Amino acid sequence: TSNDWTQPYQMIFTANNILQKGTKANVTEAVRNHYFGEARFFRAYAYFSLVEKYGDVPLLLKTIEANAPEMSMPRTPRATVIDTIYADLNFASQWLPPAKSIAEADYGRVSNGAALAFEARVGLYEGTYAKYHNNGEDVTSNLQIAVNASNAVMQQNYYALLGSYSDMF
């Protein structure tokens, strides 16, 4: 088996498990949605890595048992998977905190800026993929998602570009 397939589905399984079982947690809605935002971010990340490599992939949005019929389900059309990725990232960007408000002890946790930046990456990738592969997807709407998400990141006035690429090294 390939880790290109297995590892993303392990991440998806974990995210779905959090989303399913998290509804039973005795916490406020804000706390629950914060963790759901993290889970949905990583589910979107995993699905995007699968779509980049394979195109259409099985879309699982709940936990399943090893003998469940979903284990042999057909692939879901790429556009449907991408719409799910956008929905997950929109939820994440609404419920995750801005990077500047994340405590030092929680450094490295996902922020809403990360969710927006990743949404921009997905939109740019899908828009250019649709343009150059003539796959019937709407080029403009995907690229507009990239523009809107990028603008939202820039309006946070938290992130900056380095003046010199070589300074990174």
pLDDT tens-digit readout, 27-45: 999 999 999 999 999 999 9
Q: Average model confidence (pLDDT) for the chain?
A: 93
pTM of the predicted model, to two decimals? 0.92
What per-residue confidence (pLDDT) applies to 116?
Answer: 98
pLDDT above 70 covers what percent of the chain?
Answer: 98
Mean pLDDT, residues 117-132: 95
Q: Nearest Cα to 18, choosing from 36, 4, 31, 5?
A: 36
CB 20 within 8 A of CB 63: yes
Mean pLDDT, residues 89-117: 96
Question: Per-residue pLDDT tens for 84-101?
Answer: 999 999 999 999 999 999
In the 3-class helix/strand/coil scheme, how is 59-115 assigned residue by residue? Answer: CCCCCCCCCCHHHHCCCECHHHHHHHHHHHHHHHHHHCCCHHHCCHHHCCCCCHHHH
- CA 164, chain centre distance (Å): 29
The C-alpha atoms of residue 169 and residue 164 are separated, in whole angstroms, by: 10
The three-class DSSP label of residue 57 is strand
pLDDT at 1 over 70: no
